[in-house]
Amino acid sequence: MSMRKLFDGDIEGYFNDNADFDKAFWFFVHIPKTAGSSFRSELAAALRPNANITLNYALDGESFESWRKNAVKRFLAEHETKQHRFASGHIMNGLLGDLRAVEPNTRMVTMLRHPADRLISDFRYARTPMHPPYQEFIKRYPTIQDYIAAPESADKMAVFLESTPNQPAKDLIAELEQTFSFVGLTEMYPLTRRTLFSLLNINAGPVEHKRKTEDTADNRVEVTAELREQIIKANPRDMALYRHFRAGWVAQREKLVEHLKQRAIVTAKAETKARKHEALAAYNAAKDSGNKA
């Protein structure tokens, strides 16, 4: 499973390597505020049984990293008997080694977003009641500049996707291209979403938008060119990730759109043929039943 063939222009090869053959297991590394809730909901509806590894904010002294590791172990114990088709969660890629050992052919999926838009959205969301510890967040980061300057907010997309801590952007990009079946973009959501759904051989209905952040007095942000530049400078690995994968999608956009059209035509013809076959079978069955009567 690899993104490399897609960006090299071998679109047919990409689909052949990453399509949903033999009911593969798919895992979505959900990076916060990358349109992932809507995306995850659609995938879960199509791939059953599924599981979402949700965050637990009542840690009782346990660190988030420790909780996430244990959450993966609990999921794998359940997966032994349930055999999920799809799972997701705010789980770092570096914590999924045991999962890959159990499911070596896992189709890995994630979404990226421009770092400035993602961080602003993350900051605004975390200052609303939708984020349980929002009052603590407001006290810790009184302004968005405080959040930008905090080490824990830097390069969050890279932190979620790296296999080793502080992995250089160049190495991380090369690894993602080789190990992930799909790395989509929020800013190119219709095309990237349609590509993944074509891999899954499911119809892409109207775009959903779940968990939209409400506007409150506490989460207003004046977005200026200066603010965006400040965020870009504070998130160099995230910018490298975003620019690389955006360039890959843009370079293949026209060719990919045409390929998706042809795939849709072939799928529609196959579905029409199947319906005709089913109708003929039903007619013959009814006819045989009438003759026997």
Q: What are residue 111's DSSP bridge partners? A: 184
pTM given for the model: 0.87
pLDDT in tens, the chain (293 residues): 789 999 999 999 999 999 998 889 999 999 999 987 888 888 998 899 999 987 665 556 667 678 788 889 999 999 999 999 999 999 999 999 999 999 998 999 999 999 999 999 999 999 999 888 899 999 999 999 999 999 999 999 999 999 999 999 999 999 999 999 999 999 999 999 999 999 998 876 656 666 678 889 899 999 999 999 999 999 999 999 999 999 999 999 999 999 999 887 766 655 555 455 555 566 466 556 656 55
Please report the pLDDT score of residue 221 as a whole number: 94
Please report the pLDDT score of residue 37 as a whole number: 83
Residue 72 to residues 75, 77, 118, 186: CA-CA distances in angstroms? 5, 9, 25, 26
| Domain topology for 3-291 | Rossmann fold (3.40.50)
Please report the pLDDT score of residue 62 as a whole number: 67
> What are the phi and psi torsion angles at 14 (to 5°)?
-60, -45
Please report the pLDDT score of residue 285 as a whole number: 60
Please report the pLDDT score of residue 273 as a whole number: 55
Of 91, 87, 166, 152, nearest in space to 122 by CA: 152
Please report the pLDDT score of residue 250 as a whole number: 97
Please report the pLDDT score of residue 201 as a whole number: 86
Please report the pLDDT score of residue 214 as a whole number: 86
Please report the pLDDT score of residue 286 as a whole number: 54
Domain residue limits, the chain: 3-291
Beta-carbon contacts of 159 under 8 Å, excluding residues fewer than 6 positions away, are: 92
Please report the pLDDT score of residue 260 as a whole number: 92
Tokens of 272: 């029409």
Distance separating alpha carbons of residues 212 and 7, to the nearest angstrom: 31
Please report the pLDDT score of residue 69 as a whole number: 83
Please report the pLDDT score of residue 60 as a whole number: 60
